[in-house]
Amino acid sequence: MLQLTDVAVRAFTANEQEEPVAILKNIHMRVEQGEWIALIGRNGSGKSTLLKLIAGFQAGEASGFLDWGDALASRSGIKAPIVMQQPEASMVGATPIEDLIIMLEQNGVKGELIAEQAANALARTGMLDRGHQPVGTLSGGQKQRVAIAGCLAVDAPILLMDEPTAMLDPEASIYVHDIVRKLNRSGIAVIWITQKLDELREGDRVIALEQGEIVFDGAAEGFYARSRAMDSVCERLGFEAPYVVQTAWELEKHGVELASLPLTPAALAKAVQRR
């Protein structure tokens, strides 16, 4: 569905004499429909730049090859919007419905279809009943749901989420996370940048970046896997594993072998019960 082959991005500094700085290097990745990809890395590792590149907002000078396959063929060149930490920065309408209508107009959707598509998208994120509420009065989580509705309205082939829960309280974070999980289960691919590792679920694919390069691309369980001599990738990158994973590591240290590494409290309980 989406393929990046040997992509690199360099940024020019203010000093013309200096060599451009490499932000992304040797990026090879392929995203299939329906995948959930957690994009992880320390501050400045290149996560947002990679997302911007995929979305079509080029940061700096890019080389390599980015191919959307036929994902955009029927969408007349519509690109994928990014849902950011503070979505109001990219909202142009005074209300959710107005915001989506403007977005659809800008994307060349026919007039008679606009109202229905805007309403459908808001309904899918549970925001239709607040469609006419001024954007400034919405909570952070509600604004995120409007931003996600915007992606659905323009039929984005992938949801690009740049730390969408970073500014939200735990309850709103779970709500937004659950909505996007549900959309993902319906078949839409998601790339989800996060520093909150407890948002990972069994079966998620993790792509970890370090200094602009992919240093891990595999299942979440592999991201936490420890081998005898080596720490996990998670630890090597300086992240603290979620409490559940640390508990599983402690159990293993004490000779309690689990069939698979649990990522949620419920999975931990099941893994212990099954022994």
Q: Does 245 bind ligand ATP (CB under 6 A)?
A: no
> Judged by CB under 6 A, does residue 59 bind ligand ATP?
yes
User: Which pair of tokens denotes residue 58?
Assistant: 């080029």
Contact 38, 194 (CB under 8 A): yes
Length of the chain: 275
Q: Pick the piece of the chain touching ligand ATP (CB under 6 A) from 45-53, 63-71, 125-133, 177-185.
A: 45-53
The binder of ligand ATP chosen from 7, 35, 36, 47 (CB under 6 A):
47
Check if the beta carbon of residue 115 is closer than 8 Å to that of residue 101.
yes
Q: Measured from the CB atom, is 124 or 205 closer to ligand ATP?
A: 205
Q: Is 41 helix (H, G, I), strand (E, B) or coil?
A: strand
Stretch that binds ligand ATP, among 42-50, 68-76, 135-143, 264-272 (CB under 6 A): 42-50
Q: Is 41 in the site for ligand ATP (CB under 6 A)?
A: yes
Q: For residue 44, state whether it binds ligand ATP (rule: CB under 6 A).
A: yes
Q: Which of 154, 234, 146 is nearest to 194 (CA)?
A: 234
- Determine if 48 is a binding residue for ligand ATP (CB under 6 A): yes
> Applying CB under 6 A, does 49 fall inside the site for ligand ATP?
yes
Task: Report the DSSP pairing between strands 205-210 and 36-41.
Answer: parallel
- Rounded least distance, CB 196 to ligand ATP, Å: 12
Contact between 262 and ligand ATP per CB under 6 A: no
d(CA 121, CA 153) in angstroms, rounded, equals: 5
| Contact status: 215 vs ligand ATP (CB under 6 A) | no
Out of 46, 131, 157, 242, the residue judged to bind ligand ATP by CB under 6 A: 46
Residue with tokens 């001599």: 229
Query: Which one-letter DSSP state was computed for residue 14?
Result: S
Cα distance between residue 133 and residue 113, in whole Å = 22
Q: Which of these segments, 39-47, 97-105, 140-148, 168-176, binds ligand ATP (CB under 6 A)? A: 39-47
Token look-up 């069994």 returns: 202
Query: Judged by CB under 6 A, which of 2, 4, 7, 23 binds ligand ATP?
Result: 23
Q: How far is the CB of 58 from ligand ATP (least distance, A)?
A: 10
Cβ contacts of 34 within 8 Å, gap of 6 or more: 184, 187, 188, 189
Segment contacting ligand ATP by CB under 6 A, of 44-52, 121-129, 153-161, 220-228: 44-52
CB 263 within 8 A of CB 245: yes
User: Alpha-carbon distance 47 to 191, whole Å?
Assistant: 10
Rank residues 198 and 221 by Cβ distance to ligand ATP and give the closer one: 198
In the complex, least distance from residue 93 CB atom to ligand ATP, rounded to whole angstroms: 27
Contact between 11 and ligand ATP by CB under 6 A: the answer reads yes
Q: Is 222 exposed, middle or buried (0-12, 13-18, 19+ CB in 10 A)?
A: middle
How many angstroms separate the CA atoms of 88 and 82, rounded?
12
Should residue 45 be labelled a site residue for ligand ATP when binding is judged by CB under 6 A? yes
Interface with ligand ATP (CB under 6 A): 11, 21, 23, 41, 43-49, 59-60
